[in-house]
A and B are shown apart, each in its own frame.
Chain A
């Protein structure tokens, strides 16, 4: 395949992936928007005033970046894991496997689909957040780049889950028992400076902490972590998971007998 053919192939996968979640927007876009709006109402408007300011910001403003990041993470992950496993389950992954598509294009196509959904839902939630909070964006480049890197990372994680999944149960176990706890403990609702030294140290092993704080740095200009460390963690994890995912596809794990 020449460069133009590869571009056509990549574009085809991306369009297919975007159409897949766009057609069922009531199931893919709307629920996280409603859920996050409820978070804003309950934690921000009702409980937030009782808590007071955090890191110099009202509580609703403080949790807003974390809530956006939470939807980006879960939707990027969910899109790729469900799409990839669905293709395996129905057998139509074979459409790509029999074609001369290089595996890196298959990987890039699925990841872009995940990023598209993550960013689409993230944008929708950001717009909703403007109804409840009065934040002012501090650094658009940091905000967008952290959002993109996080979305890429969790799309890759979703693909790894999809490769290994053998049943529909397998695609919900990791999000329920790993991703959600790590997200909730990743500084979405609090600053880790509130924790005891032991829990602070333990929190440092949670990669989501770095993403949430990097994103918060872009939006509010405050963070528990140095910005460079957030970027470094994201890039290291993306490199590691990206190489691992490509290796899985090259070896045909979960997709070739």
Chain B
């Protein structure tokens, strides 16, 4: 099975001499939900720009479902749907017209475009706004309109550049559900985001770009397994003043009388042992959560490591 996206030796130097990409290699398998992460200015948007033909590359090869972007441009571009970071539709056009025009650029006749537009607008909760000008939509609706526009030609590869930036948590979660269903239907998804929790919960594989180089390209599971410690916060039903001592591989301390911080080394201690400790000492737990986002911690470690 060919890769959904295959990038080899991709370089980009802008006119002002700034080298955004220093020859990156990247491969995304078909059906994957792939996170492309990096700090601001790391080269994510340049990579996406080149893949979607909005940025001219300096050198290197890009293949989309085995179609070379240089020699089979039309076939390669027909496979991609792009949701860019910035709102970039004509704000004076009605919502449905934006979708129908986009379908037209892919050669989809108007009756078929109408049917597809209705289906997408309904799925994304925009049907009631179909006659409104795009400028009249809320931020979350504009984001969903961008997703609908990117899907109107039924692409096999959907690229989302920070799709949930600035939207409230309710809409963000409904977008996650929508994207998960889309991925389950066979669409390969590449996601860039600054919400690392989002990448961790949605994506199976991950690439990290820093200073124009890919510094990590692996599965989310393997990457997260590299963390040698876990941090949890437990809320207690009843307040306590002191805690008994515990194993050397586990640190349990009181943050306040009703909250306990737990940190343990993976491989030496487990969450089951933490629960045993709680039970032995009659500590009733009302809730628990990760103290820090695991991917965020790894991401910071990798980027800091690259600086050194």
Q: What residues of chain A have their CB less than 8 Å away from a CB belonging to chain B? A: 1-2, 4-6, 8-9, 11-13, 16, 86-87, 90-92, 94-102, 252, 256-257
Residue of A95, A252, A256 ringed by the most chain B CB atoms within 10 A = A95
CA A87 to CA B149, docked complex, whole Å = 16
Q: Per a CB cutoff under 8 Å, which of B54, B55, B88, B107 touches A5?
A: B107
Residues of B within 8 A of A95 (CB): 88-89, 101-102, 105, 149
CA A148 to CA B77, docked complex, whole Å = 34
Residues of A within 8 A of B14 (CB): 257
Residues of B within 8 A of A6 (CB): 107
8 contacts between A and B (CB under 8 A): A6-B107, A90-B90, A91-B84, A91-B87, A99-B78, A99-B105, A100-B73, A100-B77
Closest Cβ of chain A: how far from B150's Cβ, in Å? 9
Closest Cβ of chain B: how far from A251's Cβ, in Å? 8
Closest Cβ of chain B: how far from A82's Cβ, in Å? 13
> B106 near A: Cβ within 8 Å?
yes
A99 contacts B89, CB within 8 Å?
Answer: no
Residues of B within 8 A of A13 (CB): 104-105
Q: Per a CB cutoff under 8 Å, which of B54, B75, B100 touches A97?
A: B54
Residue of A12, A13, A101 ringed by the most chain B CB atoms within 10 A = A12
Which residue on chain B has the smallest CB distance to residue A92?
Answer: B90
Q: Which of B87-126 contact A (CB under 8 A)?
A: 87-91, 97, 100-110
Q: Per a CB cutoff under 8 Å, which of A9, A11, A86, A87 touches B106?
A: A9
Closest Cβ of chain B: how far from A213's Cβ, in Å? 39
A99 contacts B54, CB within 8 Å?
Answer: no
Q: Which 9 A-B pairs have the closest CB atoms?
A: A5-B107, A12-B104, A91-B88, A99-B105, A100-B74, A100-B77, A257-B55, A100-B78, A8-B107
Total contacts A to B, CB within 8 angstroms? 86
> B80 near A: Cβ within 8 Å?
yes
Closest Cβ of chain A: how far from B284's Cβ, in Å? 55
Bitwise, B52-82 to A at CB < 8 A (1) or not (0) is: 1111100000000000000001110110101
Residues of A within 8 A of B54 (CB): 94, 97-98, 256-257
B106 contacts A5, CB within 8 Å?
Answer: yes
Q: Which size class do B's interface residues fall under?
A: 35 or more
A91 contacts B101, CB within 8 Å?
Answer: no
Q: Per a CB cutoff under 8 Å, which of A4, A91, A94, A96 touches B107?
A: A4
A98 contacts B107, CB within 8 Å?
Answer: no
A98 contacts B53, CB within 8 Å?
Answer: yes
Closest Cβ of chain A: how far from B104's Cβ, in Å? 3
A99 and B106 contact, Cβ closer than 8 Å, known pairs A1-B74, A256-B54, A256-B55: yes
12 further A-B contacts with Cβ under 8 Å, apart from A8-B109, A100-B74, A257-B14, are A1-B74, A5-B106, A12-B100, A12-B103, A90-B88, A90-B90, A91-B87, A95-B88, A98-B80, A99-B106, A100-B106, A256-B56
> B23 near A: Cβ within 8 Å?
no
B91 contacts A90, CB within 8 Å?
Answer: yes
Which residue on chain A has the smallest CB distance to residue B14?
Answer: A257
Closest Cβ of chain A: how far from B152's Cβ, in Å? 10
> B49 near A: Cβ within 8 Å?
yes
CA A6 to CA B73, docked complex, whole Å = 15
Residues of B within 8 A of A96 (CB): 105
Which residue on chain B has the smallest CB distance to residue A105?
Answer: B105
CA A102 to CA B78, docked complex, whole Å = 12
Closest Cβ of chain A: how far from B18's Cβ, in Å? 11
A12 contacts B105, CB within 8 Å?
Answer: yes
> B197 near A: Cβ within 8 Å?
no
Q: Per a CB cutoff under 8 Å, which of B53, B74, B97, B108 touches A8?
A: B108
Which residue on chain B has the smallest CB distance to residue A19?
Answer: B97
A91 and B74 contact, Cβ closer than 8 Å, known pairs A97-B54, A99-B102: no
CA A86 to CA B74, docked complex, whole Å = 25
Closest Cβ of chain B: how far from A102's Cβ, in Å? 7
Which residue on chain B has the smallest CB distance to residue A14?
Answer: B104
A8 and B90 contact, Cβ closer than 8 Å, known pairs A97-B53, A256-B55, A256-B56: no
Which residue on chain B has the smallest CB distance to residue A5?
Answer: B107
Closest Cβ of chain B: how far from A77's Cβ, in Å? 21
Residues of B within 8 A of A1 (CB): 74, 78, 107
Closest Cβ of chain A: how far from B166's Cβ, in Å? 17
